[in-house]
Amino acid sequence: MRLTSSTRQKIIEQNEGFTRKTYSEDRNSREERIYTISAGVLHIRAVGNTSWADSRYDKEWVASDGEVHRFLYKYKSEMNLDGIE
C-alpha cells in the first residue's frame, strides 16, 4: 500500500482514538512520546528531560505531513486498514 496523502487521511480518519506510546533513552536524555489520533489529525506529545537540572519538557503539537507518513509507515500493522487499498 502506498501512503499517499489521501490514503494517509483515510487511515487517520478510520483510526479515531488510536493511541501509541514510544520511549527512547540516551546517555543524557529520556523521552516518552504519546501519539493520539483525534479530530482527524495525529497529535504528538513529547515528555522528557536531559542531564541538565532544569531540562524537563512537555510539548504537544499536531503532526506535520512528514511525521504522519513516518508514523503510519511504522505502525500501520497495528491499525485498522479495512477497505483501504
The reported pLDDT for the residue numbered 70 is 96
The reported pLDDT for the residue numbered 38 is 96
The reported pLDDT for the residue numbered 54 is 76
Q: Rg of the chain's alpha carbons, rounded to an integer?
A: 15
Query: Which portions of the chain are predicted below pLDDT 70?
Result: none
Predicted TM-score (pTM) of this structure: 0.89
The reported pLDDT for the residue numbered 78 is 95
| Segment 60-73, tens digit of pLDDT | 999 999 999 999 99
Residue 66: enclosing H or E segment and its boundaries?
helix 65-75
Fold of the 5-78 domain: S-adenosyl-L-methionine-dependent methyltransferases (2.20.130)
